Structure 1
Amino acid sequence: MKTLTCFVLLVTYRVTMTYSQQCRQVTSTVCDDDVTNVSRQKGDKGEIGSPGKSGSQGIKGSKGDSGGVGEKGAQGESCALGSFGNDIINRLAYLEDFFRPDSCTNALLDGNQFLRNGLKVYCEDRWTIFQRRFDGSVNFQRTWDEYKLGFGNSEGEFWLGLEAVHRLTRRGKCDLRVELQNFDDNHYWAKYSTFSVDSEADLYRLYVGGYTGNATDRLEYHNNQPFTTMDRDNDAFGRNCASEHDGEAGGWWYKSCYYSQLNGFWGENGRSIYWTSGPRPKVTAMKFRCD
């Protein structure tokens, strides 16, 4: 009953009055505690209390994700040489080309040399070595293009390349020297006072003559013969001489087929490197020198 009476009084006073101090006194006097809170309003702000004790340390947070890769910085300025510096470089390049030998004949040092025409050759006592074999580490059963451009390592077994030999022997008088050593360490040599190799248009035809030496002349048979490889048959035989002997013959200036063949299979027995005077060669070197 008290609750209902309080509610009626509250409604009456809300209609006729604002929430004044008088209304708050009436409601607090008439109403029980269970309805007093309905009409109670917020009091004035109290004084600031004294600081409380520090709380315990919180749990450490998990590690955040790593940052992304930053943007690439701008490129620094290049160090310009200027016209004077460029002029010095050009003059040094000119001097380098000027002092390069035009052939091994004019080379002052042995070993690999870059000639004035841009070719890289191996010089030895002013001879240009264009074929060397001694351990069978390089396969000489190659295609036409490989024999044309060269293969192997000039410090080891190698073939300089027919195009390079042609370019270096087409002008002036050239000598050819063939050096052989068999598996018994006996040495033979053959020297020719005439040597040149024609252009690819003429199938790198061999021209050789004027023999001296102790190895017997076995290149005379091959004089004026074009070069033949396993993929380019230019010999006078009914079959491809470079593909004979189970493909171990290698490229050479074949006729029908050969009296000498220094690009065959390397080995002491069987169909291997061949020069028909004495045992099979173990070490071979072919070199030329031009006036």
Structure 2
Amino acid sequence: MKTALCFVLLTIYSITMTYCQQCRQVTSTVCDDDITSFSRQKGDKGEVGFPGKSGIQGIKGSKGDSGGVGEKGTQGESCALGSLDLEDFVRPDSCTNSLLDGNQFLRNGLKVYCEDRWTVFQRRFDGSVNFQRTWDEYKVGFGETEGEFWLGLETVRRLTRKGNCDLRIELKSFDDSFHWAQYSTFSVDSEADLYRLHVGGYTGNATDALISTHNNQAFTTLDMDNDKWSRNCATENDGETGGWWYNACKNSQLNALWGRDGYLFWSPGAGSRKASTMKFRCD
């Protein structure tokens, strides 16, 4: 009896377990299909959310390597100033390498007047400056470079001491005729040698009035008689002749009293001159 009852119970249990297993399989399949089908359906797009906070700043990158040196550029063409540099332009050694006319201060501190690259050392045109001066005055110079003036024998010596200098003299008569005389050799010795004149190589239309009489002559002033005359040539006519490279006495005199007939002259018989300019230029 008990054996039969146990068999019945086991049979019922077996049938029940089989049925539940099939049920779970079906349920699982159906649910999985529904979930899968639902996940494939795209919902409506939601509203845009608020921006999030900035993130933490990243670490600064390391500096890159320096670039290499570029290639050297080609040299440009020479400037029209030639070999002159800026210093030559502003403070030249002499008027010869100055590009400007008028008053110039040279590198050595001397003040000169440049005219077309010539250094002017004497100018007369109206008699406003007295040229009846002493030795010391002719040595250091007098007058103003913009007007009538004498540059000074010591300055002329310093600027011509290296040689290779030309001398040019320009003359204007009272009838306004113009004449000139130029010399390819010009220099002045030191004060110890009495500022002796050296001149040669004449060209021009004013005739030579220096070489034959005044070349190699010492300078003479009112108070310093260095000429070859028995008296002082600078005191001739009551001192109105002024300082010059006298011999015994003169073939020219451009420092005499201005405006007096026969005084400011160049070569005998040529008459008095209204204006004169003496200038030099050195290589």
* TM class by smaller structure: 0.5 to 0.7
1:119 aligns with 2:71: no
Q: Tell me the equivalent position of 1:239.
A: 231
Give the whole-Å Cα distance in 2 for the aligned partners of 1:171 and 1:116: 16
Q: Tell me the equivalent position of 1:182.
A: 173
144, 162, 165: which is aligned to 2:156? 165
Q: Alpha-carbon deviation of 1:172?
A: 3.2
Q: Tell me the equivalent position of 1:199.
A: 190
Give the whole-Å Cα distance in 2 for the aligned partners of 1:99 and 1:215: 36
Q: Tell me the equivalent position of 1:285.
A: 277
246, 254, 264: which is aligned to 1:254? 246
Give the whole-Å Cα distance in 1 for the aligned partners of 2:158 and 2:238: 33
Name the % identity.
74
Secondary structure, aligned partner of 2:256: coil
* Aligned-CA RMSD value: 1.3
Q: Alpha-carbon deviation of 1:275?
A: 1.1
Which residue identity lines up with residue 154 of structure 1 in the other structure?
A: T
TM-score normalised according to structure 2 size: 0.67
1:263 aligns with 2:276: no
1:225–1:253 CA contact under 8 A, matched in 2: yes
Q: Tell me the equivalent position of 1:67.
A: none
Give the whole-Å Cα distance in 2 for the aligned partners of 1:283 and 1:114: 26
User: After superposition, where does 1:31-70 map in structure 2 within 5 Å?
Assistant: none
User: After superposition, where does 1:64-213 map in structure 2 within 5 Å?
Assistant: 99-213=90-204
1:228 aligns with 2:197: no
Q: Alpha-carbon deviation of 1:120?
A: 0.3
Secondary structure, aligned partner of 1:242: helix
Q: Alpha-carbon deviation of 1:98?
A: 8.5
> Considering only CA atoms, is the larger Rg found in Structure 1 or Structure 2?
2
1:228–1:254 CA contact under 8 A, matched in 2: yes
Relative to structure 1, is the Cα distance of residues 265 and 98 closer, same or farther in structure 2, using a 3 angstrom cutoff?
closer
208, 217, 229: which is aligned to 1:217? 208
Which residue identity lines up with residue 253 of structure 1 in the other structure?
A: W
Q: Which runs of 5+ in 2 are unaligned?
A: 1-85
Give the whole-Å Cα distance in 2 for the aligned partners of 1:100 and 1:201: 30
Relative to structure 1, is the Cα distance of residues 96 and 144 closer, same or farther in structure 2, using a 3 angstrom cutoff?
same
User: Alpha-carbon deviations, 1:5-52, whole Å to 9, x = none?
Assistant: xxxxxxxxxxxxxxxxxxxxxxxxxxxxxxxxxxxxxxxxxxxxxxxx
Relative to structure 1, is the Cα distance of residues 98 and 137 closer, same or farther in structure 2, using a 3 angstrom cutoff?
closer
Secondary structure, aligned partner of 2:123: strand
Q: Which runs of 5+ in 1 are unaligned?
A: 1-94
Give the whole-Å Cα distance in 1 for the aligned partners of 2:266 and 2:198: 18
Q: Tell me the equivalent position of 2:264.
A: 273
Q: Tell me the equivalent position of 1:72.
A: none
Q: Alpha-carbon deviation of 1:96?
A: 5.7
TM-score normalised according to structure 1 size: 0.66
User: Alpha-carbon deviations, 1:75-95, whole Å to 9, x = none?
Assistant: xxxxxxxxxxxxxxxxxxxx8
Which residue identity lines up with residue 230 of structure 1 in the other structure?
A: L
